Amino acid sequence: MDGIEKIRFDPAAFLTQSGLKREVVGLKPKATLFSQGDAADSVFYIQSGRVKLTVTSQSGKEATIAILSVGDFVGEDSIAETDGFRAATATAVTLSMVLKIRRTEMLRAVHEEHAFSDLFLKFLLARSIRTQADIVDQLFNSCEKRLARILLLMADFDASEKEESVIPKISQETLAEMIGTTRSRVSFFMNSFRKRGFIEYNGRIRIKKSLLSVVLQD
């Protein structure tokens, strides 16, 4: 383009430098961002750290449905209606920093900033596709494949050509909730992955890209 390089839209810079009203929120591990049943009046953008989404049944059983990281939005369902309520609880997994954006401000940014609205739409579509893939995964794949897939997604191998990635410490109980099995089964498969050289863990977990072979096997 006549020697002029197209500038890539940076959502983090836009959210922090624009006139958009927002609040910076720091979260310690296990701190709650919002709870199931709270009024859904804000959207959050993760600047650093990881946040998990959990749902609790009427009987008190809790299940982890997603682990979100830098660049993800949390609580985006709040822009759908003015008097809605949170369908899940958001909790910090690691030390995290998020931007809290009120619903009215978020809607204004979506309407007025086309680059931002395009990016936000891509995020919503990606989340929808991920949710569908999670459902298929639960219905048709073995526990071993489901665990391997979750670890690979957390390692974010799609974003680069890296051969290994370190993910924050996550409990086997949480992994068990995410794939719908028991902690003992997760422990068995984690030990199996380690023996086969697919992962290393000592506090934090180092995921090797070769773990993909577990997901691809018949």
Residue 119 to residue 130: CA distance in whole angstroms: 16
pTM of the model: 0.75
The kind and range of the H/E element at 206 are: strand 204-208
Q: Are residues 103 and 207 in the same domain?
A: no
User: Is the same domain home to 124 and 17?
Assistant: yes
pLDDT at position 6 is: 44
Same domain, 34 and 122: yes
In this structure, are 118 and 160 located in the same domain?
no
CB < 8 Å & 24+ apart, contacts of 58-66: 62/177, 63/177, 63/178, 64/174, 64/177, 64/178, 65/134, 65/178, 66/130
Across 98-113, average pLDDT = 88
Task: Give CA–CA dist 15/17, Å, rounded.
Answer: 6
H helix runs in the chain, sequence order: 11-17, 103-112, 114-140, 143-155, 172-179, 183-195, 212-216
What is the DSSP code string of 79-118? GS-TT-B-SSEEEESSSEEEEEEEHHHHHHHHHH-HHHHH
Same domain as 108, residue 15: yes
**What are the distances in angstroms from CA 179 to CA 38, 146, 147, 185?**
26, 6, 6, 10
Q: Is the same domain home to 92 and 58?
A: yes
pLDDT at position 35: 95
166 neighbors 205 (Cβ within 8 angstroms): yes
User: Where do we find the tokens 């096997």?
Assistant: 217
Q: How confident is the model at residue 218 (pLDDT cuts 50, 70, 90)?
A: low
pLDDT at 8: 60
Examine the fold and report which residue of 136, 162, 191 is the final residue of a domain before the chain moves on: 136
Domain count, the chain: 2
Q: Are strands 32-34 and 62-68 parallel, antiparallel or unpaired?
A: unpaired
21: containing domain: 11-136
Please tell me the predicted confidence (pLDDT) of residue 111.
87
CA–CA gap between residue 153 and residue 52 (Å, rounded): 14
The pLDDT of 52-66, averaged and rounded, is: 85
Same domain? 38 vs 131:
yes
Q: What is the rounded average pLDDT of the residues 59-81? A: 85
